[in-house]
Amino acid sequence: MHRRLLVAAIVLALFAPAHAQSLDAASTEALAAALKALQDPSARAAALSGNPQAGAVDQQIQAFAGGLTPDVYALAAQVFAELVRNTGGDVGRLSDAIDRARTDPSAFAAMLSPATLERLRELAVRLSDQRR
C-alpha cells in the first residue's frame, strides 16, 4: 500500500499548481487543469510533453500499473483534490503533505477520507492481483 501511495504523491507533486497560495480564481483554475491532466489521457499527454520529469514518472506508473494506469491517475486526482481542500490550497501545506507521504506514508494516509483510503486499498489489491 505504501508504494502505491508514494507513486500517487509523486504524481501529485509533479502536477501541483506551484503558484497557488489559496483557492482564489487562479488556484481554482490550476486545480481544474491539474485534475483534468490526471483524469483525461489527452490532457495528460499535453502536460507530460512539456515536462520530461513528469514523463519519466508517467512511464514508471505505466510499467508498474499496466492496464490499471487510468485507475492510478483517477485515484491520484481524488487524493490531490482532497489535499487541496484539506490544505486550503496553501502550497506550503500541500508540499508538506506530499513530503510527509514520502517520509511517513501512514501519517499521510491519515489525512485522507475513509472513502479515498478504501479506494486506495481496492486499487492496491487489484494491482497485486494483476502481478500474479
From 73, 79, 48, 46, select the one nearest 61 (Cα to Cα).
73
0.85 surpassed by pTM? no
130 vs 21: CA distance, rounded Å: 39
| Distances, alpha carbon 21 to alpha carbons 84, 101, 130, in Å | 10, 20, 39
pLDDT band, very low/low/confident/very high, at 18 (cuts 50, 70, 90): very low
101 vs 23: CA distance, rounded Å: 22
pLDDT band, very low/low/confident/very high, at 17 (cuts 50, 70, 90): very low
The model's pLDDT over 40-81, given as tens digits with 9 standing for 90+, comes to 889 888 888 878 888 888 999 999 999 999 999 999 999 988
